[in-house]
Amino acid sequence: MPEVGEILKNEVLKGDYYKVVFYVPEICKNTKPGQFVHVKIANLRDRILRRPFSICDVDVETGELTVAYKIVGEGTKVLATLEVGTVCDLMGPLGVSFTPTKDDEFPVIVAGGYGSAATHILAKQCVTKGVLLLGARSEDDLILMDKFEEANFEVRLSTNDGSVGHQGLVTELVEQIIAENTDNKKLRFYGCGPTPMLMALGKMLEDKGYECELSLDHLMCCGVGACFACVVKVKANNEDGWRYARTCNEGPVFNSKDVYYG
Ligand SMILES: Cc1cc2nc3c(=O)[nH]c(=O)nc-3n(C[C@H](O)[C@H](O)[C@H](O)COP(=O)(O)OP(=O)(O)OC[C@H]3O[C@@H](n4cnc5c(N)ncnc54)[C@H](O)[C@@H]3O)c2cc1C
Ligand code: FES
What is the span of the domain harbouring residue 62?
A: 2-94
Sequence-distant (≥ 6) Cβ neighbours of residue 73 within 8 angstroms: none
Among 46, 72, 81, 249, the mutation site with the greatest number of ligand 1 atoms within 8 A of its Cβ is 72
Determine the Cα–Cα distance for residues 94 and 69; give it in Å rounded to an integer: 17
Same domain, 60 and 146: no
pTM, whole model, 2 decimals? 0.95
Same domain, 125 and 194: yes
Sequence-distant (≥ 6) Cβ neighbours of residue 169 within 8 angstroms: 135, 158, 160, 197, 200
Comparing CA positions, the residue from 96, 144, 110, 108 lying closest to residue 251 is 96
Same domain, 118 and 202: yes
| Last residue within a domain, chosen from 94, 127, 147 | 94
* Chain segment 94-149, per-residue pLDDT in tens: 999 999 999 999 999 999 989 999 999 999 999 899 999 999 999 999 999 999 99
88 touches 41 (CB < 8 A) = yes
Secondary structure E strands in the chain: 2-14, 17-23, 36-40, 51-54, 57-59, 64-70, 87-94, 105-112, 131-136, 154-159, 166-167, 186-192, 211-215, 231-235, 242-246, 253-255
Which residue has a Cα nearest atom 3 of ligand 2? 225
Same domain, 18 and 127: no
Which residue has a Cα nearest atom 30 of ligand 1? 73
User: According to the model, what pLDDT value does residue 47 have?
Assistant: 66
Q: Is the CB of 95 under 6 A from ligand 2?
A: no
The fraction of the chain above a pLDDT of 90, given in percent, is 88
Domain membership flag for residue 124: yes
Same domain, 203 and 149: yes
* Chain segment 192-204, per-residue pLDDT in tens: 999 999 999 999 9
Q: Is the CB of 219 under 6 A from ligand 1?
A: yes
Q: Which CATH number do you get for residue 14?
A: 2.40.30.10
